[in-house]
Amino acid sequence: MSVSLNKPEISVVIPIYNEQAGLAALFARLYPALDALGATYEIVFVNDGSRDNSVSILAEQFRQRPDVTRVVLFNGNYGQHMAILAGFEASRGDIMVTLDADLQNPPEEIGNLVAKMREGYDYVGSIRRKRQDSAWRTYASKAMNSLRERITNIKITDQGNMLRAYGRNIVDLMNQCAEVNTFVPALAYRFARNPTEIVVEHEERAAGESKYSLYSLIRLNFDLVTGFSLVPLQFYSMMGMLMSLLSALLVVVLVARRLFLGAEAEGVFTLFAITFFFMGIILFGIGLLGEYVGRIFQQVRARPRYVVQTILQQRDDGQPLPPPGVEKRTVGRHHE
C-alpha cells in the first residue's frame, strides 16, 4: 500500500471529459484494484476542460486520498491524447498505465498489464476480448485499423483501446516530443524496444455517452495516419505518375485513330463520368495535402499544446496543500 507520493512504482493516468455520472463508480473500483496489487502507486486524473461537475468530484476525491491522487486541471478542452501527455508529465512512476474514465477498461486488468511489464517489456498494449461498442463502430474501427496498420507500419492490433502500460524510458521520450497532433499508443510504439500485447476484458460504458462523434473519430484517424506516415502522399505521387503515363498512351492511340479512322464525336457522357471521377481523386489529393500542411502550420505556430491551470497535489514531504486560490500556472513544457 502506498503512503507517499515519492516515486511510486505505478502511475495511472486517466483523462476526464464530462464524466461526472461515472466517476464515483470509477473510484469505487480503481482504488481497491490498485491497493490489491501491493505496489506503490499514484493516480493522475487530467480534467480536459469538463463543463459538468467533474472538477468538484475530482477535487473531493483528492481530499479523500491525497496520498495517492493528483489532479491536473486544463483550462480548456485539448483532447484525450493531450490530456494523457499532460498526465505523463505530471507523473513519476516507473510503469505508466492509461485507461478511460468510463470503466470500459476494467481497473482490475491493471494488475495483468503491470505483471507483463515486470517481465521486461517496455510497452504492453491490449486487445479487447469482446468489444462492447455498437456494431458499426466495431466494424468501422476494424477496417480502419487494418488499413492504418499497412500505411503506418505500427503494429497495434486494437488501436481504439487505451488500456495500456508504458515504461519510464518511453514516457521520458514522449515527454520530449512536442507534437501538436498525436496518438499516444502509436508514438509509444515508435519508441518501444520490446513491445507486446495482452487480451483484456471490455465493458459497456458505465454512465454518460461516448465523447467521440463520427467526425472526431475521422479527425483522430487522420492524426494517426499523417502523424506516423508519408505513405498517403507517396501513394498520390505514384498514382499521378501512373496516370500521366496512361494518358500519354491514350493520346497516342487517339492521334492514330484520328489519322486512320477519322474524327470521333460520340462518348461525351463517358467523358463527363471519367472527368468527374478524376476531379474527385484530385480534390481528395488536395485535401490530403492540406491535412499535412495544416498540421505543419499548427506545429510551426508553436502555441502551447495545452494549458495547465492548476495541479492538485500533495507536497512530496506529505505537508498540507498551499491555501486555495494559489494557482500554479504551467504550460506544456516544450513551449515554456
Binding site for ligand UDP (CB under 6 A): 15-17, 19, 48, 77, 79-80, 83, 100-102, 104, 160, 210-212
Provide the grid cell at 12. Answer: 495511472
Contacting range for Mg ion; rule: CB under 5 A; set: 11-19, 23-31, 75-83, 103-111: 103-111
Which of ligand UDP, Mg ion, none interacts with 79 (beta carbon under 5 to 8 A by kind)?
ligand UDP
Tell whether residue 42 is a contact of Mg ion (CB under 5 A).
no
Residues between 57 and 76 with contacts to Mg ion, criterion CB under 5 A: none
Residue 98 to residue 12: CA distance in whole angstroms:
6
Q: Which CB sits closer to ligand UDP, 178 or 207?
A: 207
Q: Which CB sits closer to ligand UDP, 79 or 227?
A: 79
Which of Mg ion, ligand UDP, none interacts with 109 (beta carbon under 5 to 8 A by kind)?
none
Provide the H-helix boundaries in the chain: 23-35, 54-64, 80-90, 110-118, 135-152, 168-176, 184-191, 214-228, 231-261, 268-301
Which of Mg ion, ligand UDP, none interacts with 22 (beta carbon under 5 to 8 A by kind)?
none
Query: What minimum distance in Å lies between the beta carbon of 133 and ligand UDP?
Result: 7
Query: What minimum distance in Å lies between the beta carbon of 80 and ligand UDP?
Result: 4
Among 54, 104, 161, 182, binds Mg ion (CB under 5 A): 104
Residue 331 to residue 336: CA distance in whole angstroms:
6
Which of ligand UDP, Mg ion, none interacts with 16 (beta carbon under 5 to 8 A by kind)?
ligand UDP
Residue 77 to residue 49: CA distance in whole angstroms:
4
Provide the grid cell at 22. Answer: 461515472
Would you give the end-to-end CA distance of the chain in angstroms?
Answer: 36
**Across the beta sheet with 69-74, what order do the strands follow?**
195-200, 123-128, 164-167, 95-98, 10-16, 41-47, 69-74, 307-312, 330-331
Residue 314 to residue 31: CA distance in whole angstroms:
17
Q: Which CB sits closer to ligand UDP, 80 or 152?
A: 80
Which of Mg ion, ligand UDP, none interacts with 19 (beta carbon under 5 to 8 A by kind)?
ligand UDP
Tell whether residue 20 is a contact of Mg ion (CB under 5 A).
no
Number of residues that bind Mg ion (CB under 5 A): 3
Residue 201 to residue 108: CA distance in whole angstroms:
10
Q: Which CB sits closer to Mg ion, 89 or 102?
A: 102
Place of cell 485535401: 287
For 126-142, b/e burial (b = at least 16 CB within 10 A) is bebeebebeeeeeebbe
Q: Which CB sits closer to ligand UDP, 214 or 250?
A: 214
Q: Which CB sits closer to ligand UDP, 102 or 197?
A: 102
CA distance to 58, 218, 265, per residue, from 273 (Å): 58, 28, 16
Q: What angle do CA 218, 223, 228 make, to 5 degrees?
A: 135
Q: Which CB sits closer to ligand UDP, 66 or 160?
A: 160
Query: What minimum distance in Å lies between the beta carbon of 196 and ligand UDP?
Result: 23
Point out which residues bind Mg ion (CB under 5 A).
Answer: 100, 102, 104
